[in-house]
């Protein structure tokens, strides 16, 4: 159910998504998909990461669905809290996978500059997919972020950080979450007509 009238913006987390990561597979698979590139994947800076997302959204008038993983989810929330209205209107929805809790004790030092996490409700539909054994966010924390952001949550059993290390290479099952998001967007758009 990928759409030709949308573009898919892939937002990796810390260290980017290697070639064998599901986000890279999805980028190769989905029509009109592109990665939001960051100048430095290893030393993330919230201001430059948000600016890169804004540039990618503003670059085209085509509506976008954001597909974020880990620190990419936190970047989406931070961007949405300060984005211009014209850019917000170009985003139809967001799939937020394994959000990193950058406020947790023991969080890696390079990620702490993304705290505090923007907690405002996202102005577009979103789905949050977490895991009951993700080392970067407890299930309770993932559900709390979903509530704050207005996201429909799903907590997967035993999925880890939903990355290469947890065995998620192609993650074909993940497309079900993207399709559910697209159906949610379509229902909302029909109501507004």
Tens-place pLDDT, residues 107-140: 999 999 999 999 999 999 999 999 999 999 999 9
Q: What is the pLDDT at residue 5?
A: 84
What integer pLDDT is reported at residue 190 of this predicted model? 82
pLDDT value of position 189: 83
Reply yes or no on whether the pLDDT at 19 is more than 80: yes
Confirm whether 1 is domain-assigned. no
Q: Is residue 97 part of a domain?
A: yes
- Cα angle, residue 179 at apex, residues 134 and 188 outer, rounded to 5°: 110
Q: Residues 148-192: pLDDT tens digits?
A: 999 999 999 999 999 999 999 899 999 999 999 999 999 988 887
Mean pLDDT of the chain: 95
pTM for the model stands at 0.95
Tokens 């009109």 belong to residue: 32
Residue 72 covered by a domain: yes
pLDDT for 115 equals 97
> What percent of the chain lies above the pLDDT cut of 90?
93
Q: Is residue 48 part of a domain?
A: yes
pLDDT for the residue 3: 52
The two tokens of residue 8 are 């898919």
The owner of tokens 């099952």 is: 173
Confidence of residue 105 (pLDDT cuts 50, 70, 90): very high
Tens of pLDDT, residues 36-46: 999 999 999 99
- Residues 126, 93: contact at Cβ < 8 Å? yes
Q: Residue 4: which pLDDT band, with cuts at 50, 70 and 90? A: low
The CATH number of residue 57's host domain is 3.40.50.1820
**Is residue 27 domain-resident?**
yes
Q: Which residues contact 121 (CB under 8 A, 6 or more apart)?
A: 148, 149, 150
Q: 53: Cβ–Cβ under 8 A, 6 or more apart, which residues?
A: 9, 11, 36, 75, 76, 79
Mean pLDDT of 66-72: 98
Total domains, the chain: 1
SS (H, E, C) 33-80: EEECCCCCCCCCCHHHHHHHHHHHHHCCCCCEEEEEECHHHHHHHHHH
Residue 67 forms part of a structural domain: yes
Supply the range of the domain harboring residue 62: 7-192
Q: How many other CB atoms sit within 10 Å of the CB of residue 108?
A: 12
In a domain, 167, yes or no: yes
Q: Mean pLDDT across the stretch 93-120?
A: 97
Q: Evaluate whether residue 2 is within a structural domain.
A: no
């Amino acid at each position: 159910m990928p759409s030709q009238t949308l573009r898919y913006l892939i937002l990796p987390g810390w260290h980017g998504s290697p070639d064998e990561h599901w986000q890279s597979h999805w980028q190769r698979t989905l029509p009109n998909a592109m990665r939001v590139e960051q100048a430095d994947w290893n030393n993330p800076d919230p201001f430059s990461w948000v600016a890169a997302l804004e540039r990618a959204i503003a670059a085209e008038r085509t509506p976008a669905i954001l597909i974020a993983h880990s620190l990419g989810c936190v970047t989406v929330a931070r961007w949405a809290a300060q984005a211009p209205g014209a850019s917000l209107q170009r985003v139809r929805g967001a799939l937020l996978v394994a959000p990193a809790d950058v406020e947790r004790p023991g969080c890696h030092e390079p990620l702490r500059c993304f705290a505090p996490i923007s907690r405002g409700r996202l102005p577009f539909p979103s789905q949050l997919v977490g895991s009951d054994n993700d080392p970067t966010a407890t299930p309770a924390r993932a559900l709390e972020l979903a509530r704050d952001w207005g996201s429909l949550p799903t907590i997967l059993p035993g999925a880890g950080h939903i990355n290469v290390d947890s065995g998620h290479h192609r993650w074909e099952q993940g497309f079900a979450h993207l399709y559910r998001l697209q159906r949610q967007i379509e229902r909302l758009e029909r109501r507004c007509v």
